[in-house]
Structure formats: C-alpha cells, structure tokens
Amino acid sequence: MIVDNILDILKNILDVLLVWLMFYYILRNIKNNVKMTLLFKGVLVIIVLKLISTWLGLNTLGLILEYVIMYGPLAIIIIFQPEIRGVLEQLGRSQLLGRHKTLTVDEREKLVYEIINAIDYLRKSKIGALIVIERDVSLLDYINRAKPLYADLSSELLISIFFPNNPLHDGAVIIQGNRISCAGAVFPTSNSISLNKRLGTRHRAALGIAEESDAISIIVSEETGRISIAVKGELFYNLALDDARMMLVDELRPQQDTSVSEEGEDEYEEIN
C-alpha cells in the first residue's frame, strides 16, 4: 500500500510537471510571436470582462460574451490559422536548452564589430543586405532551404555575399552563434499595416521573421543605404551606425548580464 501511494504521488507530480512544461513552452513561443501575443491579450481581456459582468450582474454584456466565448475558438482557428501554425512550428524548432551556443563577451564584441564593419561598407556603397541573427528560436527550417556555408563570421565575407551579381545577394544571411550558417535564405514577408508602403521586400522579410521568432534582423537599403533593425516584431528604421551598434550590443547581451549591469548602475547611483 505504501509503495502504491508513493507511486501515485510521483505520477501526480510528473503529471503537473509535464502540464507546466507544456504551458511554459507554449507561452514562451507565443511571446516571440507578436500577432499571437496580441491574440492572447485579447482572450484575457474577454475573460476578465466576462468575470466582471457576472460579478456585477451585467446580463446583456454577459450574454454577448457567452456567445463570443462559445464561438470564439472556432473563429480564432479560422482567422489566425497561419499564426497558430507558426507557433506550432516554433515549438518544433525550439531548442529545449535555449540558444545553441552562449557567446562569451569577447565573442559578442567580435560579432558586433564584424557586422557593423560590413554594414558600414554596404551602406556607403548602397548595397542591399539582410543579416539575421538567430537567438533562442531555431531558424533551422530556413537554413535547410538556403545555401549552407558554416563559415567563420567576418565583415569581408558578409560584404562579398551581398556584393552585386553574387547569386546569393538577394537572400538573407543567417548567423548562428559566431558563424555564418547559410546565405540566400528566404523569409515570409510581414503583412503589418503600420509598415511604410515604400519599404521593399527586404524590410518586409526582416520584419516577418522578427514577428515569427526572436531573431534580430539587420537591413541595409539598396536605394538609400539606410540601416534598419527589426526585433521583437518592431522595425527601427533609419538608424545611425552607432545606434545600430548599441542596439545589437543590448539585444545580444544575455538576460543575466542585463540584470547584473542594471544592479551595478543602481549601486553606482546610490554611491554618488
């Protein structure tokens, strides 16, 4: 009997842990998808309104929300089918242990140095480019469909890839860790209505992959030479070179480094 009770307790613990793990990875991937994040917030608002209407006895509002809750899931599946499919694909692509390689401070500095040197040359020469840095969400599906390189990162190699008449210059370069994994990658374009209609396919593709994943996309405009960065579903257009450098440094810094840095700044302010 004691053994059976212990087994039942272990099963219950395992059951709770698996459910927690499932929700953790679903929510983590929703967080990296801007559209699904907005959808999730909308669902929470409807639930809160339903609870408030029940508590205050707002019958009309409660009746409407009941129909929304009843038929809402079907409508969500139909309307947001591409986004739901994207989240499921992200679950399949996600690396359970996070980023495939955690870069040291020196490696991060060299990564930013080489990328900034490359985009400085590209902007001055008005050569279009799209450089995407993978983070926690794997981009393996796009890498497999592109031209594999698996080469050490250097500004010279990046410039040569995007040089006009190079067969790979129209696609994107994907960087994993401190290495160039592939070139000529193609991403889904963003349908965001807030995106300037004058921006071309390169900017829309950069924002598209930033909406689907937590990747960092760096764009150099072929027409104007302007630098833009797409991250967390948002496009930062026409950045100065120093601003682009600082943004890359901040985004590539691990979370624990960020918290340590903030604590150090707080201590410095207290001392002064």
Write down the pLDDT at residue 131.
96
CA distance 145 to 65: 44
Find out whether 25 and 94 touch, Cβ atoms under 8 Å.
yes
For the chain, domain boundaries = 2-93, 105-252
Identity of the residue numbered 7: L
CA distance 178 to 157: 13
Burial class (CB in 10 A: 0-12, 13-18, 19+), 32: buried
CA distance 220 to 223: 9
Provide the residue-wise pLDDT of the chain in tens; the chain has 272 residues: 677 777 778 888 888 888 887 777 666 665 655 666 767 777 788 888 888 888 888 888 778 878 777 877 777 677 666 666 665 655 555 544 344 457 888 889 999 999 999 999 999 999 999 999 998 888 888 998 899 998 999 999 999 999 988 888 888 999 998 899 999 999 988 887 778 778 888 999 999 999 888 899 999 999 999 999 999 888 999 999 999 999 999 999 876 554 444 444 444 344 34
> Is the pTM above the cut of 0.75?
no
Find out whether 223 and 186 touch, Cβ atoms under 8 Å.
no
Dihedral of CA 88/89/90/95: which sign?
positive
Write down the pLDDT at residue 127.
93
Neighbour tally for 112: CB within 10 Å? 19
How many residues are recorded in the chain?
272
Enter the tokens of residue 20: 């927690």
What's the start-to-end Cα distance of the chain, in Å?
Answer: 65
| CATH class held by domain 105-252 | alpha beta
Q: Nearest-CA neighbor of 230 among 255, 203, 212?
A: 203
Element (H, E) at 215: none
In this structure, the strands spanning 172-176 and 129-133 are: parallel
